[in-house]
Structure 1
């Protein structure tokens, strides 16, 4: 690759760095033909309405449901990825808009499915399966639908809830408009004394500054601005929580937490286990704060000092890692997964899974995506740093998971659950960082790797657990009929920071306002705990693989192949990781402590 910093157009990039979408469709005309076929095929779905009591018709419905779903996914994935590779191309935007508009129409055509199945009196699935060959394939899927019966309302009541859906989603929209459109921040002085406008985008960079006055100014300016709108943010947050609680009661769940977890087959115990285990081991985070304070040579450790790198250049900005070297590094780190896994990984690179480079018009960020019949593609905006190597390993973890799942499961069971989604990606990251630390002989580079992993655990495990605890407290208070104000919410959030960061941290008042800027709190109720559980499960798998070898690898690969054939907790348990127990999180905290030991040994 060239060393030039000029952003290239897509046409200027070597084809080996671009994904091969033409395997899906070699022209927009081919896509349009399939789109017309899809609409004709899908239009017949509503003909099954009122007939699902028949074993034959039920089987035929799900056959058609899968046939249409496979094609719809292919059309949607291609259109979106074609748009993402170059957002300036009008043709891609047109087909993306077409399929997005059609998706709503399609789902309205099959909206009768769940209400009709749940309304059939004396519905005996086992008897129907005896009547019709092939219906057994759909048994688990249908059973999942039937599980919702105690929480499904009458047709009229469901219609009312659907009609007010936009109103109930208002808090999310209000947050977005307030935070992204209506708010702006003053200028602050950077390290060179220049006046620079503070933004959400550059805030974290200011927090990494070696100049404490810059860090303090960024922190106080950001939260000073949010503080001016705290009552509006509080009203928005409370309204969103109350909406969620309202839905949980209407649908006859015991709590808002159960409403969030039970439909995804996650026991409430798992959520409480996260909070309890982190609280029982919170002294590990206190130790990290104490060590960081000492290593940075600070008389006082403030919240805004948390992101200062312990090791100079710990963002690896001075080290350029070519993509070809990244592939070698990741493959070396993933050797414990065995030849089969590495062969799939290598063939994925060679056959065009990955779109590597940032180019003009390309969508930012990184993701893994694909349809049931396509490659499990990866979009990167590779920046040649060590963090980019880790992100590459992360996204390939998703894609190899998807490859295994789609290859081994029928379409209807090929999607793994959200709870399991981050496990394979984190397993890859943990294996990679372990290998890099173990084999690095340069002291400074080794310290930077240790620092990177510590920060990853602090932000992904401890911080997200604190968010989860905050959500549980605020929802519980409202469920009990207690009132909340902006001041009370700030007090709750500030108190959690005091507890989590310990006696060596000066918990500045401004941090009590941090809840105002966390998107997940305004519509993704009880979601963030999954970042903690995903990391814990991935780290535990990496630990088992390194310690037990082939037996653990075999169980892990069986997990990757399983899709959603069983409940996520059971799939993980079979593979050796029990998320209802404290052990996976304790494994992560043990790793955190070991890394702290290494850091102390090297630096003190």
Structure 2
């Protein structure tokens, strides 16, 4: 397994069983081309309904059905092309397919852009009478309610069509960033603890930062971020372009700011975002204590940013090959019941997962797929405990998708972004609980506690820091200022000082870390990791303490998709995110675990 770390393989050299099987999307590129042609023909068909939606319940139903058919096909087309590109971002064939898929996605949005404005122009009583009159139309009741809710933010049909045409331009900052970060950026090699040359990659960076040898960590950290610094102005330009895009759309749609425009999409009050930052900022003392504890446990005179990932317990060496990691995850999820575990087993056997890093492969991890396909998971698996948790995490996403699309019509078959991190983090919490119950020594318990506290730090504190940074950069531009590389670096470094406290040296290199975070291109996404983690802690504790009844409620939550507003879907499972209670409970648990670790040390 050492070779994977030192020398990423070419994709052709990765065993078939460790590559995902995209046949449930398209059995060939030719099948993809057929759907590409088919969806083009539907654009003309849907135009026939323009200006006709209020004529009858039948007309409204036919237009909405056609809207779904187009969205469904375009989703398949884009997802396949992008996932094929992600296998090896250097592959020009799939770069071209992705470019075409992006283009047809924009065409699709333009072709159906008249539907929402026309519904908004309809009289509410007429819509209600149509819903009563035609049984098949009732499936769209919540969807229509969601449209009417955003009435003041939707433009005229002509303006909506023009906005749809800007879509291809709008993704340019993210596209340029992705190509620079994933395909063109090349990191140097460093000497490992044995004196061997090791190439730094996105996939190997964290395992190297977990290395017991402090010199290896230092050299990795410096080489990694020095590479980003060489391109700091380009990264600043792409991020600035993305922020300006968000603000442009928020103004056109009559929102007060970009944050409000983003979170209103899921009917989330802005207070949820601000309350998260406030609650975490008021509870930084536990994080500061944890940092001080890490410094003491590692026996360091000075704790640096490159010391944050290495395990506190030096004597436990947990190298976990993928096959072993799979079994650990399956056992950890037993408390979710036989049905849930059997679906996970099916996914593991049926090549839902693209396991190992190869040259050119997209960095990181994700779960994706469409209403018509299996869920799919992209990993860049290294033999670490962290990667076992990544597997559990992404399986949580995939099972959420699986249950939603099996139990909801297409229109509600995807769960909302606000709920996206709940199922994934619930899996992680259940896995950790199971592993802590089976510890064989104090050192192993400390190691697992350290890992869970790191997950906590990374998901609640770190993502909230990201959320605060994202809010700051948007507000800076909304106040008429420019996002220069120097301002971004200074702002980011100061936030690190605030969050990590007085017992760590905040190295200059960390100031450029914002440049490696792709989530800053996802339009106020990251705060949901922290809210989702908090909700997941509440749900996992209910599952472990209440058993079958809580599992049934939880599976019901997974089956709900987007059939109701996300705040309501979560309330039905027993968690109310409109209050600070779940966040405060999660932060209290973090503090309790820090105290427990202190006692064991």
TM bucket (normalised to shorter chain) is 0.7 to 0.9
Aligned partners of 1:250, 1:94: CA distance in 2, in Å? Answer: 31
Matched residue, 1:511: 510
What is the total number of aligned residue pairs between the two structures? Answer: 596
Q: Give a deviation string over 1:33-79, Cα, whole Å, max 9, x none.
A: 66655554554222211211122211111223334444554565566
Structure 1 position 209, deviation (Å): 4.5
Deviates more, 1:375-384 or 1:333-342: 375-384
Matched residue, 1:552: 550
Aligned partners of 2:232, 2:379: CA distance in 1, in Å? Answer: 37
Structure 1 position 154, deviation (Å): 3.6
Q: Give a deviation string over 1:489-509, Cα, whole Å, max 9, x none.
A: 444333322221122122334
Structure 1 position 406, deviation (Å): 1.5
Matched residue, 2:284: 282
Equivalent residues of 1:314, 1:452 under 8 A apart? no
Aligned partners of 1:93, 1:245: CA distance in 2, in Å? Answer: 28
Aligned partners of 1:513, 1:7: CA distance in 2, in Å? Answer: 29
Structure 1 position 414, deviation (Å): 1.0
Matched residue, 1:291: 293
Aligned partners of 1:58, 1:577: CA distance in 2, in Å? Answer: 36
Counterparts in 2 of 1:408-427, with a 5 A limit? 408-427=407-426
Q: 3-state DSSP class of the match of 2:135?
A: coil
Aligned partners of 1:489, 1:23: CA distance in 2, in Å? Answer: 43
Q: 1:385 to 1:205 in 2, by over 3 A?
A: closer
User: Is there any run of 5+ residues in structure 2 with no aligned partner, and where?
Assistant: none
Structure 1 position 488, deviation (Å): 4.8
When the two chains are superposed, the root-mean-square deviation of aligned CA atoms in Å is: 4.1
Counterparts in 2 of 1:194-343, with a 5 A limit? 204=206, 207-220=209-222, 237-238=239-240, 240-312=242-314, 316-317=318-319, 319-320=320-321, 323=323, 325-343=324-342
Structure 1 position 334, deviation (Å): 1.7
Q: 3-state DSSP class of the match of 2:48?
A: helix
Equivalent residues of 2:47, 2:111 under 8 A apart? yes
Q: 1:98 to 1:554 in 2, by over 3 A?
A: same
Aligned partners of 2:341, 2:214: CA distance in 1, in Å? Answer: 45
Q: 1:171 to 1:109 in 2, by over 3 A?
A: closer
Equivalent residues of 2:14, 2:356 under 8 A apart? no
Matched residue, 1:429: 428
Aligned partners of 2:237, 2:96: CA distance in 1, in Å? Answer: 39
Equivalent residues of 1:353, 1:376 under 8 A apart? no
Structure 1 position 160, deviation (Å): 5.7
1:139 and 2:141 aligned: yes
Matched residue, 2:155: 153
Equivalent residues of 2:315, 2:443 under 8 A apart? no
Aligned partners of 1:528, 1:102: CA distance in 2, in Å? Answer: 28
Aligned partners of 1:489, 1:87: CA distance in 2, in Å? Answer: 28
Structure 1 position 571, deviation (Å): 0.8
Deviates more, 1:197-206 or 1:470-479: 197-206
Q: 3-state DSSP class of the match of 1:44?
A: helix
Matched residue, 1:575: 573
Structure 1 position 247, deviation (Å): 3.2
Q: 3-state DSSP class of the match of 2:130?
A: helix
Q: 3-state DSSP class of the match of 1:427?
A: helix
Matched residue, 1:53: 54
Deviates more, 1:211-220 or 1:535-544: 211-220
Equivalent residues of 1:296, 1:310 under 8 A apart? yes
Q: Give a deviation string over 1:566-599, Cα, whole Å, max 9, x none.
A: 1111111221112222222233323323432343
Structure 1 position 273, deviation (Å): 1.7
Q: 3-state DSSP class of the match of 2:367?
A: strand
TM-score by length of 1: 0.84
Q: 1:92 to 1:537 in 2, by over 3 A?
A: same
Aligned partners of 1:286, 1:556: CA distance in 2, in Å? Answer: 34
Matched residue, 2:128: 126
Structure 1 position 556, deviation (Å): 1.1
Matched residue, 1:564: 562
Deviates more, 1:593-602 or 1:137-146: 593-602
Aligned partners of 1:182, 1:13: CA distance in 2, in Å? Answer: 26
1:114 to 104, 113, 116: 116
Counterparts in 2 of 1:434-583, with a 5 A limit? 434-481=433-480, 488-521=487-520, 523-583=521-581
Quick check: which has more Rg, 1 or 2? 1
Structure 1 position 111, deviation (Å): 2.6
Aligned partners of 1:509, 1:11: CA distance in 2, in Å? Answer: 39
Aligned partners of 2:360, 2:515: CA distance in 1, in Å? Answer: 31
Aligned partners of 1:375, 1:223: CA distance in 2, in Å? Answer: 37
Q: 1:82 to 1:474 in 2, by over 3 A?
A: closer
Q: 3-state DSSP class of the match of 1:368?
A: strand
TM-score by length of 2: 0.84
Structure 1 position 262, deviation (Å): 0.8
Aligned partners of 1:492, 1:11: CA distance in 2, in Å? Answer: 43
Q: 1:499 to 1:314 in 2, by over 3 A?
A: farther
Q: 1:177 to 1:160 in 2, by over 3 A?
A: same
